[in-house]
Structure 1
Amino acid sequence: MNIALYKSRLLRFQSLIALFILCLGLSILSDKFLTVSNLWNVMRQISVNICISTGMTLIVLTAGIDLSVGSVLALCGAITAGLLKNGIEIPSNNLYIGFTILGAVLAGVLTGSALGAFSGFTITRFKVPPFVATLAMLTVARGLTMLWTQGFPISGLGDKFLYFGTGWFLGIPVPVWISGIIVAVALFVTNKTRLGRYIYAIGGNESAAKLSGINVNKVKIIVYTIAGALAGIGGLLVTSRLDSAQPNAGISYELDSIAAVVIGGTSLSGGRGSILGTVQGAIIIGVLNNGLVLLNVSPFWQQVVKGLVILLAVIIDKSNSKND
């Protein structure tokens, strides 16, 4: 009885234990890790993953997956940058439409929402597996990014726009504020609203959810739309921080996002997990990435390490599912 209780507590705090061990090891191996500037840099980098991982968590809770978030992030960032710097020209009508910062940002986020909604519609209307539908969207969004940018970065976006990615407010980086607000809203939605209860119900047992009167298709479309919008916000932060929309931005971001979700304890089978767990997972991935850079580990080996971490997290998730 006591063994089962201890095991339950260990599983509950496994992410925090892993984070503590990781931070302890890196602080011993590198004297730069625990510096204030480095820790703020880690938090700023983690903010992007927290944004997209929050949306990924909602999707995984419904037993889905989204492989397109990295490409959607790149497209939304490129659209935001392109509209802000160049606007829209229609030579045939001798017309030029300029965009304010707010207008360009909204256009980018709405683009992400639209792509997410399309993925959700494809999955629900045509019964395409989420893996296949979002893999297709990954390719489509990356292709649209290349078409929009013509393969060249869009730079020189202005100091006011840079504030989103590099600014400070009350002594805390603006990206941390943005990701914190997103997490707070997501916590409220998942814990206090009908939509949150529906998300968990669908992931737990979709057939039972349908029989209880839940509009499963509508909820899934909403979830994928939210995830697309959050990928758009991630694109805003990346573009602002770099002062440039890169055509190849967001590559492998979906892997970091899925890793954060799984490491945070959200089951890939759906119905079990939390936003706070994902935040812990995102911090672990961010600290791991930062530590590997500080230790001068080859980028190729960094990919190997992250892949093994994801595999280990999935194995632990499957093991926990069998024991439940």
Structure 2
Amino acid sequence: MKHPWFSRLHNRATRPYCLLVAVVLAFALLVGIEGFFSARTLYSVLQHFATVGLVALGLGLTMIMREFDLSVAGMVGLGGCVAVLCSGESVWLGVAAAMLVGALGGVLQAQLINRLGLSSVAVSLGGLLTWMGLAYVLTGNKTIPFEHMDVAMAMNAPLLGVFSLRSLTVLVLFVLAACWMAVTRSGRDLVAAGGNRKAALVAGVNPARLMTGVFAASGLLAALTGALLSYGLSSATPSGGSADILVAAIVAAILGGVSLSGGVGRPLGIAAGVLVLCVLRTGLTALGAAPFVHDVVTGLVLLIVAIIDGAHLRMRMYQLRQAMPWRSALNSGDSL
């Protein structure tokens, strides 16, 4: 008989929330309930969530369609540079310019994939290098300062004790994405196209149009992340922490229940996956763990999830239980 916790972990719909509850309880016991659930700790978790969340959401949406947008990491840096450079008259103009650049970059990649029949991995890898190169050209390989200090302070000012303008914005966008996938036909078509492209075509779904929209959204969300992050840090850099953000976004999407084979995943699950990473990072920092320990623990969690997702795991576990000596002896005793 299967244990209910194993069933929940094997189910991609419930796994992210089980992992989140597990890591929260673990660090609450290790750090202390009062220390871990303090406003300062929760604020730190949500600030990291604001940095990785939208990148993981955009990447996760492309993964649900059985594609892969590696360029999100480069678009974070490019979007931040565009936002700062265009924010002379109005910060809103900078945000709009960054989002427009992100959306156009996503559309360009989708058109290349659709019209030329190219791999999304190859195209988005080229996009990653291209966006990073453009960011270096725009900035002259220098850090660009953001002059509106009042905006920078407002971006990080605590709201209700644990939130900031950045984290609230990201949370709202996750809720909107969840509503879109739950109640709209295009959201359901996205899952159908990722699960079985040929069957979706027969059912009247237009995968090319969906891919264009998803890649545009992925680029837009990555550019918006870069803009908000640069405003909050009062500067923009061409790299934009691209390597760290890309790895974190991929891990968060997988922990959030998104399947690499497509057709599976939900925005709220991705949000829970991001929070798992954020809690791990904040909890290990509170315990004084070395930076390499963060990578080791995150890798172990990801490895456990990969093992649980093994195609023949249930059958192997059943065979292992049947092969146990005490079970064989018990069965022979019953036959007597």
Q: TM-score, normalised by structure 2?
A: 0.84
Residue 234 of structure 1 deviates from its aligned partner by: 0.8
Q: CA–CA distance in 1 between the matches of 2:228 and 2:312?
A: 35
- Deviations, residues 240-291 of structure 1 (Å, cap 9, x unaligned): 2211112221322111111111111121111112111111100001111222
- Deviations, residues 94-121 of structure 1 (Å, cap 9, x unaligned): xxxxx31111110011111111112212
Mapped pair 1:275 → 2:278:
no
2:277 alignment counterpart: 285
1:298 alignment counterpart: 290
Mapped pair 1:79 → 2:86:
no
Distance 1:281 1:6, change over 3 A: closer
Q: CA–CA distance in 2 between the matches of 1:311 and 1:299?
A: 19
Q: CA–CA distance in 1 between the matches of 2:308 and 2:110?
A: 29
1:217 alignment counterpart: 208
- Deviations, residues 208-250 of structure 1 (Å, cap 9, x unaligned): 1112221111110110100111111111221122111122213
Question: Where in structure 1 are there 5+ consecutive unaligned residues?
Answer: 86-98
1:34 alignment counterpart: 37
Deviates more, 1:255-264 or 1:219-228: 255-264
Distance 1:38 1:230, change over 3 A: same
Q: What is the 5 A alignment of 1:238-249?
A: 238-249=229-240
Q: CA–CA distance in 1 between the matches of 2:92 and 2:48?
A: 23
1:24 alignment counterpart: 25
Mapped pair 1:261 → 2:270:
no
Distance 1:169 1:61, change over 3 A: same
Q: CA–CA distance in 2 between the matches of 1:162 and 1:104?
A: 14
Residue 152 of structure 1 deviates from its aligned partner by: 1.4
Q: TM-score, normalised by structure 1?
A: 0.87
Q: What is the 5 A alignment of 1:1-324?
A: 3=2, 7-10=6-9, 11=11, 12-30=13-31, 32-85=35-88, 99-162=89-152, 165-169=155-159, 172-251=163-242, 252-319=244-311
Whether the 8 Å contact between 1:163 and 1:174 is mirrored in structure 2 is no
Aligned residues: 309
Deviates more, 1:203-212 or 1:288-297: 288-297
Whether the 8 Å contact between 1:164 and 1:237 is mirrored in structure 2 is no
- Deviations, residues 61-94 of structure 1 (Å, cap 9, x unaligned): 1011111212101110011112224xxxxxxxxx
Whether the 8 Å contact between 2:8 and 2:18 is mirrored in structure 1 is no
- Deviations, residues 153-173 of structure 1 (Å, cap 9, x unaligned): 112431343156313455531
What secondary structure sits across from 1:84 in the alignment?
Answer: coil
Tell me the C-alpha RMSD between the 2 structures: 2.4
Deviates more, 1:163-172 or 1:38-47: 163-172
2:325 alignment counterpart: none
Deviates more, 1:20-29 or 1:40-49: 20-29
* Identity fraction in percent: 28
Question: Where in structure 2 are there 5+ consecutive unaligned residues?
Answer: 316-336
What secondary structure sits across from 2:262 in the alignment?
Answer: coil
Distance 1:213 1:246, change over 3 A: same
Distance 1:200 1:321, change over 3 A: farther
Distance 1:317 1:30, change over 3 A: same
Which amino acid letter does the alignment assign opposite residue 40 of structure 2?
Answer: S
Please say which structure displays the higher CA radius of gyration.
Answer: 2
